[in-house]
A and B are shown apart, each in its own frame.
Chain A
Amino acid sequence: MTALDPAQSARPASLSALMGDGMSDEQGTSLWRGAFERLSRNPAAIIGTLIVLAFVLVAIFAPLLAPYEPAKSQWIDQVTPSDVPGPSPGHPLGLDPFGSDLLTQLIYGARQSLIIGVVSTAIGLLGGALLGGVAGAFGGRVDTFVMRLVDIMLSIPSLLLAVSVAAVMGPRPGAIMIAIAAAQVPVFARLLRGSMLAQRGQDYVLASFSLGLRRRTVVMSHVVPNSLGPVIVQATLTLATAIIEVAALSYLGLGASDPAIAEWGRMLVKAQDRLQTDPQLMLLPGLCIAVTALGFTLFGEALREALDPKSRR
């Protein structure tokens, strides 16, 4: 009633009063830019980003940073069954059980972890996005069929799935990545499909149809981009899990065949019988895994928060 009060409708809408003061700057803030601004104000996000950045830089520039060549066992003669040489001027962190420089091995380990983490997550994301995207875009029977398949995959514990795939594939180079990716496929599929379904019910999708956009355009340029937020967050979190899972699979002896190759998980395994005499052999790679995983988790959680529509306004 008040809405149509004549006194109100007679009042001319003053444009300046209508626009508020936020309208003066010419550039708008997109969702991603807004998310970035929120991230840069969040301490957890900053710590996470720094860790991730450090990890990535170390992985990329490993050859420049590492004092020696990796996995060459140059000093194998100094390693005895009862003792691995500790820190010395030539080797700041000492040697590893195979007679290579421990610092070098750790640095190259970052590279290995990054490659395995990124490649396996990328494969998992691709596979999951494909399945979830098809289910979400077509709906109906296709959706039912694909999602039942995904449910079956999900019902197998992820590590068990990864172990089985790794065991079946044998000690091939890519085996561990595919094994980890296989465990991630259903997670991504479910996430993207759920996210797409939620978006499809939104008014802006209906608005796109009512404007006469083609179905393909609506799905590809409206539904999918808006559904990706949670998937990207999940991918960051998955990188952390992937790094831990690499370690776990290596620990179970399902990693690459050459034991001397620098990889944090395997370094952990090979050090366990020397825990009493040389605890640093286990502690240092363990610390690397923990810190890196923490970095990705912090970053992913902060990203999730920044992209959350409720935190926006």
Chain B
Amino acid sequence: MAEHDRSAALDSAAGPVRSLLSVRGLEVHFPIKQGLVFDRTVGHVRAVDGVDLEIPQGQTYGLVGESGCGKSTLGRAVLRLEEPTAGEVIFDGEDIAKLKAEPLRKMRRRMQMVFQDPLASLNPRQSVQSLLIEPLRVHGLAVADRAQFGADSSASHLAKVVSMLELVGLPRAALAKYPHEFSGGQRQRIGIARAMILNPDLVIADEPVSALDVSVQAQVINLLERLQDLLGLTYIVIAHDLAVVRHISDTIGVMYLGRLVEEAPSDALYERPLHPYTIALMSAIPIPDPVVEDRRERILLKGDLPSPANPPSGCRFHTRCPFRQPTRCDTDEPALRELTQVAPGRRVACHYAEEILSGEVRVRDADLLIEPVR
């Protein structure tokens, strides 16, 4: 019954949606090495430490969290640009984490990445034409493009490149140019064109707009949305603040120290964040209405993110949690569980999620509140 409720919440009216990507128990630990001549492993950075998630075909999953919480590492591990330490990444029925080199290379045409720093992600010595043709040289035109552009040849590749360029809003004259000659927004369009030219199924955009001027951020987000509609893409969009992913995401996952702490449909999450960490993140977003802005309680997150090499015991958030309770919080690790009774379709990793929702558990630590200004 609970299962049914959850999928109902995720589905649009069209009926059950096939899951394109499911991640189970994914862990990525980086060894910390020390030693002058011979390296010794003295510990591990648990960048991603047990993540489960499920993304239906055609949907957008927004992944948010503070800097260093492991978002990029998770994204890279899904594409296996980083070797997972443990866990499964099932993409369209196949475990990416177990693929051998050659099948993996072939599979790459179906999963692409858009990078945070567009200049760093483009080889400075390649012209736009060479940047965009390169993926086609490796994999050939996508089956869907064959009808329009014909069999693989330099001419059909170039035709596809030109049409892709147009799709992302760059003129044909850009072909002969080099990345350093463009503005940040234009470069990101090139990066997006490059990721989309193979007609992938899944695109992971790692902070696609955080390096851009505020004035062009919306344009790039809109472009991503337009391409999704046009090409039927499934997205994971990574961001460090909730505002960026709000409109584009169907589901949002909030990460803290290598784990998901809350996952909910985008609107529900904004309306009523349940995990204390999400509540704190939300209270950091300014509200345009000055009256509401002045009245609401603001929660301040104390301290820095603890080291992922040595995460706190019990609930990882307990060192900074304004709702922390005397029992369980610092001893038992809360699982990411669905709140079937009170909020079906939402998953929260907090022992006291129900009580926080009902108002039984309130902010304890007065220091953590910025009192409303009158």
Residues of A within 8 A of B (CB): 1-5, 8-9, 13, 15, 18-20, 22-31, 34, 202-204, 206-214, 222, 225-226, 309, 312-313
Contact = CB atoms under 8 A, between A and B. Distances in A.
B185 A207 contact: no
B125 A226 contact: yes
B178 A31 contact: yes
Interface in B185-223: 185-186, 191, 194, 198, 209, 214-215, 217-219, 221-222
B214 A2 contact: yes
Contact of B246 (A4, A18, A24, A312): A4
Interface stretch (B102-110, B262-270, B301-309, B326-334): B102-110
Contacts of A209: 81
A250 B314 CA distance: 74
Nearest to A204: B123
A218 B173 CA distance: 27
Contacts of B185: 18
A28 to B, nearest CB: 4
A15 B169 contact: yes
B338 to A, nearest CB: 29
Contact of B121 (A5, A30, A203, A213): A203
Interface string B92-111: 00000000000001111101
Interface stretch (B50-58, B132-140, B339-347, B355-363): B132-140
Contact of B171 (A5, A15, A208, A225): A15
Contact of A1 (B123, B191, B209, B286): B286
B274 interface: no
Q: Which size bracket describes the interface of B in this complex?
A: 35 or more
A151 B178 CA distance: 38
A74 to B, nearest CB: 54
B27 to A, nearest CB: 20
Given A1-B243, A1-B285, A31-B125, A210 B79 contact: yes
Interface in B134-185: 134-135, 138-139, 169-171, 173-174, 176-178, 180-181, 183, 185
A4 B176 contact: no
Contacts of A1: 243, 285-286, 288
Contacts of B106: 212
Contacts of A25: 173
Interface in B278-304: 285-286, 288
B188 to A, nearest CB: 12
Interface in B76-132: 76, 79, 81, 105-109, 111-113, 115-117, 120-125, 127-128
Interface string B212-251: 0011011101100000000000000000000110110000
A3 B120 contact: no
B171 A3 contact: no
A27 B180 CA distance: 14
Contacts of B174: 23
B115 A4 contact: no
B108 A3 contact: no
Contacts of A31: 124-125, 178, 180
A4 B215 CA distance: 10
A18 B186 contact: yes
Nearest to A25: B173
Nearest to A23: B173
A30 B181 CA distance: 9
A217 B111 CA distance: 20
B204 to A, nearest CB: 9
Given A22-B181, A313-B180, A212 B127 contact: no
